[in-house]
Structure 1
Amino acid sequence: MQQGYSNREASRIVGINPRTGKRWRNGWHSPPTGKPKPPITVEAPAAEPSRYLREADRIHIADRLRENTSVRQIAAELHRSPSTISREIRRNGIALRGDASRWAYRPHAAQRRAEQRRPRPKPGKIGQNPSLRDFIQALRTGRTMRRPHRQSYKRQQRIRDMVMISERPAEAADRAVPGHWEGDLIIGKDGKSAIATLVERSTRYVLLAPLPQDHSAASTRDALVQAVTSLPPHLKRSLTWDQGSEMAAHKAFTIATDVPVYFCDPGSPWQRGSNENTNGLLRQYFPKGTDLSLHSREHLATVAAELNGRPRKTLGWETPAERLAKLLATAS
């Protein structure tokens, strides 16, 4: 009203009833005794704001907008991001006629709308859409929820004399030369049993090795040695693994097979992406939380043959078995 607005217009801008506006206005006037009444005080914004804007914050925004204060200054006073203040003004403000840069912001009306939007729990998107729910339940992983993993920087190096993937031959990166493998373990129930998975990078050919009792360094070494021994020399160029403790005997594996082992950087599963994707496919046959010691070596060979007989778009719709057979025929 000090800026020339009538009581009704000022009340509309602030978002209150005109009668409330009169009471507010009279609270700032001197009574007949001549002694000024103390002004109506508004709760000061908290130094550490909560997640949501409070009514006091919104009243502060309205007061400062009437004083033509910038959004950034208001945000600094409320310890908020400027984007938070600008969104609040756009959501609940009205641009004044003839001056698009000035806004009539209604703090009390904005507070009421915010309280109406906030009640929880709200119905979930999945629960409201049966088709979406059915699609999710048919997803390949069968994962019910994501679980947090340890951050890579908190992991301690447990393997001695590692040779990192940055030192791997360049020919392995472009997949032009066969014989470079990626490997990992699929862990069974209670972390006891496991299956070692090997994927050749250029053909996506899969080898599986059982670890029915444990996945210690010695057991993993022996299983991998047995898996790659039958391969021809030109298909035994390198093996890339993550920094799991099961590969602590990597030097003994290299001595037995003449296959050097390269290790991925911590928390970088994409550096052996073919193996990660294959392990996702294998979980259809070996679900999480099941005892993997129940699967015989013959059954693993059957599963590997089924994957190796699946046409792949990345191979021009050839199967890994067909692509590997061409390589063996060329070598011979």
Structure 2
Amino acid sequence: MDDFEFKARKIRSPQGRKKLQNERAAYLALVTKGYSTSEACRIVGINRKTGYRWRFGVTKTRTGRKANQPPARPGPLPSTSERGRYLSQNERLHIADLHREGKTVRAIATELGRNPSTISREIRRNRSYYAASRVHAYRPYAAQARAEARRPRPKPSAFALHPELRTRVQELLDTRWSPEQISRRLKRDFPDRPELHVCHETIYRALYVQGRGQLRRELAGALRTGRAVRKPRRRAQQRQPRFTAPMVMISERPPEAADRAIPGHWEGDLIIGADGASAIGTLVERSTRYTLLVHLEQGRRSDYVRDALAQTMATLPAHLRRSLTWDQGAEMGRHHEFTLATDIPVYFCDPASPWQRGSNENTNGLLRQYFPKSTDLAVHSREHLEAVAVELNGRPRKTLDWDTPAERLAKLLTASN
């Protein structure tokens, strides 16, 4: 016993759920080193029958019922080169033993040579719940069975299992809601019906992957981009200043506009039609993301844009007309005249900095779903633009905690009244 030190407890009272844990560990260590059961029991200070039970399990019972089998001992852990992607049965046995001993997740991960998140996720996903005692316990064989049952592919789609979910998603895609908007709003509207909860990535897979879909293939055309595959975004082209009247740059815009705390600060731009011959003006309120579309039936000359913008902004109450931020496009060459007519200051973004009008840029991308590129935008009437704005303002937004811009603007107007 030169290389083994263990002191038997003088007070043999139970230690709760983990009584004699240290004694058992010391006993098994001695047996592994070659000590006999009697000698190991004497050194540790336990009854010989207890040692036999720890080593071999219960061999018989007084009632004659079937005895418990001895607990399986985990074998040696595989080397790093032999370790597979998934946890093995031996590794789960080690996790169960170490977890029962009170080791931390990081200590278990270090001993097994795994990432701590792998161990944490394994215990959380595959533990067993006992309703009678209302406790969770990690059982290695049950965990292995759960992992193997979860692994086979392909799995049945959520849309195949729940026809009502498929119907609701298809209806919302028909109204041009994005998959993330649908996912978030369903969870918010039906919190007690998990069968109607679906991840937005599941919706994308159902549209993009042929054969795994369960959604109508033509619904991919209802997505904002109209594409059936993902594609990287392109960088915007740099624009050069074209004005003779001095510009007021965005760096001089009041801080209340930058933090979106006070409504009434707008971002504006044009979406251009085929061959640059037609355009539609877009205005987005920074706080509520409420959108207004400006009808430019005569074209996008600076005087036409000035008059159309002034006419549109005149429909707003005074406290919602604080400022306008625009890029350095030639259509705002008469910005100073617009400011004199409406008393709304105009601030200009830096060159090649579209992120300084991020809300408007995002909205223009949404509007391309209604007004595709390389099409004649002059064919759209003022009434049609108003209808598109109403539909767009009725979509829930992630940045608004899944409220709609119309709902946010209605709250502002009610508070002001």
Normalization by structure 1: what TM-score? Answer: 0.56
Take 1:180 and 1:224, find their aligned partners in 2: how far apart are those partners? 14
Q: Does the CA contact (< 8 Å) of 1:310 and 1:320 recur in 2?
A: yes
1:220 aligns with 2:297: no
Deviations 1:67-108 (A, max 9, x none): xxxxxxxxxxxxxxxxxxxxxxxxxxxxxxxxxxxxxxxxxx
1:172 aligns with 2:260: no
Q: 1:230: how far off? A: 1.2
Aligned letter for 2:384? H
Deviations 1:139-195 (A, max 9, x none): 63358998776545xx34435210000000000011010000000001011101100
Look up the match of 2:374. Answer: 289
Look up the match of 2:295. Answer: 210
- Unmatched 5+ stretches in structure 2: 1-207, 211-216
Normalization by structure 2: what TM-score? Answer: 0.45
Look up the match of 1:42. Answer: none
Take 2:360 and 2:234, find their aligned partners in 1: how far apart are those partners? 21
Take 1:260 and 1:248, find their aligned partners in 2: how far apart are those partners? 14
Give 3-state SS (helix, strand or coil) of 1:184's partner.
strand
Look up the match of 1:194. Answer: 279
Take 2:402 and 2:394, find their aligned partners in 1: how far apart are those partners? 11
Take 1:150 and 1:317, find their aligned partners in 2: how far apart are those partners? 32
Look up the match of 1:271. Answer: 356
Give 3-state SS (helix, strand or coil) of 2:347's partner.
strand
Take 1:147 and 1:320, find their aligned partners in 2: how far apart are those partners? 27
Take 1:160 and 1:223, find their aligned partners in 2: how far apart are those partners? 20
Aligned residues: 199
1:249 aligns with 2:249: no
Look up the match of 1:320. Answer: 405
Q: Does the CA contact (< 8 Å) of 1:212 and 1:292 recur in 2?
A: no
Take 1:159 and 1:281, find their aligned partners in 2: how far apart are those partners? 33
Distance 1:330-1:141 versus aligned 2 partners, 3 A rule: same
Q: Does the CA contact (< 8 Å) of 1:159 and 1:243 recur in 2?
A: no
Distance 1:151-1:296 versus aligned 2 partners, 3 A rule: closer
Take 1:276 and 1:167, find their aligned partners in 2: how far apart are those partners? 21
Q: Identity of aligned pairs, percent?
A: 68
Look up the match of 1:262. Answer: 347
Look up the match of 1:309. Answer: 394
Take 1:149 and 1:208, find their aligned partners in 2: how far apart are those partners? 22
Take 1:203 and 1:147, find their aligned partners in 2: how far apart are those partners? 27
Q: Does the CA contact (< 8 Å) of 2:242 and 2:333 recur in 1?
A: no
Aligned letter for 1:285? Y
Look up the match of 1:141. Answer: 225
**1:57-72 alignment runs, 5 A limit:** none
Take 2:297 and 2:226, find their aligned partners in 1: how far apart are those partners? 24
Distance 1:311-1:146 versus aligned 2 partners, 3 A rule: closer
Aligned letter for 1:304? A
Give 3-state SS (helix, strand or coil) of 1:266's partner.
coil
Aligned letter for 1:277? N
Q: Does the CA contact (< 8 Å) of 1:183 and 1:199 recur in 2?
A: yes
Give 3-state SS (helix, strand or coil) of 1:214's partner.
coil
Aligned letter for 2:224? R
- Unmatched 5+ stretches in structure 1: 1-129
Look up the match of 1:240. Answer: 325
Aligned letter for 1:292? L
Which range moves more in the overlay, 312-321 or 230-239? 312-321
Q: Does the CA contact (< 8 Å) of 2:241 and 2:329 recur in 1?
A: no
Q: Which protein has greater RCO, CA pairs closer than 8 Å, 6+ apart?
A: 1
Q: Does the CA contact (< 8 Å) of 2:269 and 2:360 recur in 1?
A: yes
Take 2:375 and 2:297, find their aligned partners in 1: how far apart are those partners? 12
Runs of 4+ residues over 4 Å off in structure 1: 142-152
Take 1:159 and 1:276, find their aligned partners in 2: how far apart are those partners? 26
CA RMSD of superposed structures (Å): 2.4
Take 1:320 and 1:148, find their aligned partners in 2: how far apart are those partners? 27
Take 2:385 and 2:353, find their aligned partners in 1: how far apart are those partners? 27
Distance 1:260-1:147 versus aligned 2 partners, 3 A rule: same
Q: Does the CA contact (< 8 Å) of 2:278 and 2:376 recur in 1?
A: yes
Q: 1:292: how far off? A: 0.6
